[in-house]
Amino acid sequence: MSKAQRAEVDAMLRQPQPGGPRSVEEMRAGFRALMARMTVPDGIRTTRTALGGRPALRVEPDNGPRAGSILYFHGGGFVFGSPETALSLTGHLVARTGSAAYSVDYRLAPEHPFPAAIDDTLSAYRDLLDRGEDPSAIVFAGDSAGGGLTVTTCLAARDAGLPLPAAIVAFSPGLDATRTGESMGTKEGIDPVFTRQAVEHTGAMYLAGADPRQPLLSPAVLADLTGFPPMLIQVGTNEILLDDSTRLAARARSVGVDVVLDVTADVPHVFQAFAGVLDEADEALDRAALFLGQRIRAAGTVRTSAEQERARRRSAVSRRATGSSGTCPR
C-alpha cells in the first residue's frame, strides 16, 4: 500500500472545478471526462445489447466467459453515468472472475426520477430470468448510486416474488436519501469527491419531491433485509457516505444475512476505479472477484448435487419399472 499513491489520487480529485452552478449536461460531461481517465483492462470485449427494454453493455473475456452473470449497475448519483463510464469497474470484475457482465443503461434523473432507475434494473433482472438464467448463477454488483441499486433492486425483486440473486457486491453504495449518517458531517472536507450540498443537489433531482423515508430510497435505515443473499460492501474511510455502508451491514447482520463489510483506510469514494494506479484498488477488486467466484461456484455445486439427486431418483423409478435389481426382466 502506498501513501504516495493515495495522496496522488486525492490531489487529482481535488483539482478545482468550474465555478458556479453547472447544468445537468455539464455534470454529465465532466463525469465522462473523469471516468475516461480510468484504466480498462486488456483481454475483454464489449457488445452493445438490450436488457429489460433498456440499452446495455455486455462485457466478457476475449476467450469466452465462465459460468455466471454479473448484473452491473453504474454510479453517477442517478443523474449521470453510463455503462461506458463504469467500464473500468465492470472490465476488472470480468477479467478477474472470468464471468460475463451486463451493465444496464438505466434511465436518469431529472428526466426520469425515482423509481425509474429501480424499474429498469428490476426489468433487466427479470429479463435474465426469462431467458432461462439460473438466479443462483446471477450476482448483482454496482458502485455509488449503482451500489445502492444492488440493494434496492433486490428489495424490489423480493417484493415481486422473484428469486433472489446469488450475491451482492456494492462499491461505496449510496443507501440513505435521508442523509442522516454521522459521516455526512464528520467526513466533510476529508472526502475529496462529495460535499453534503453536492449529494443533496443531485439527490433532489432523483427524489423529485418523493419522501426519502422509504426502504427503496433509504435502505440503510429502513429496509428489512430478511432473506437477502450474501453481501460484500466495500467502502473507504474518506467518504461522507461511509455510514451508509456501516449501517446497512449492521441491518443485514441483525436479520441473519451473511455480510462482509470491507473498509479501506484513507481512500475516496469508489476507489476501486483507480485500479492500476492505486494498490488498494487492485487488492479490493481481487477480494470482490474472490467473493463473487466463491458464490457462483457454491451455487453451481448445489445445482450439481440437486441434479445428481434427481438423476438418482429417475434411475430408481426406472429400475422399479423394469425389475427391482435393475437387470432385464426374465
Q: Any residues with CB less than 8 A from the CB of 148 and at least 6 apart, and which?
A: 142, 170, 173, 174, 175, 219, 244
* 259-264 and 44-51 strand pairing: unpaired
The three three-digit cell numbers of residue 42, written as one number: 486488456
How far is residue 286 from each of residues 61, 141, 150, 279, measured CA to CA in Å? 16, 14, 19, 11
Catalytic residue among 82, 99, 103, 144: 144
Catalytic residue among 74, 88, 269, 280: 269
Catalytic residue among 99, 103, 239, 280: 239
Beta bridge partners of 47: 58
The three three-digit cell numbers of residue 329, written as one number: 426382466
Cβ(31)–Cβ(84) below 8 Å: no
- With residue 24 as reference, give the H or E element that holds it: helix 24-35
* 100-104 and 54-61 strand pairing: antiparallel
The three three-digit cell numbers of residue 210, written as one number: 418523493
**Residue 103 known to be catalytic:** no
- Residue 105 backbone phi and psi in degrees, to 5: -90, 75
Taking the CA of residue 200 as centre, how many other CA atoms within 13 Å lie in the half-sphere pointing to its CB?
7
Taking the CA of residue 31 as centre, how many other CA atoms within 13 Å lie in the half-sphere pointing to its CB?
21
**Residue 92 known to be catalytic:** no
**Residue 144 known to be catalytic:** yes
The three three-digit cell numbers of residue 147, written as one number: 451500489
The whole-angstrom separation of Cα 6 and Cα 10 is: 6
Least Cα distance to 292 among 49, 72, 63, 39 occurs for 72
- Residue 81 backbone phi and psi in degrees, to 5: 100, 165
Q: How would you class 133 by CB atoms within 10 Å of its CB: exposed for 0-12, middle for 13-18, buried for 19 or more?
A: middle
Residues catalogued as catalytic: 144, 239, 269
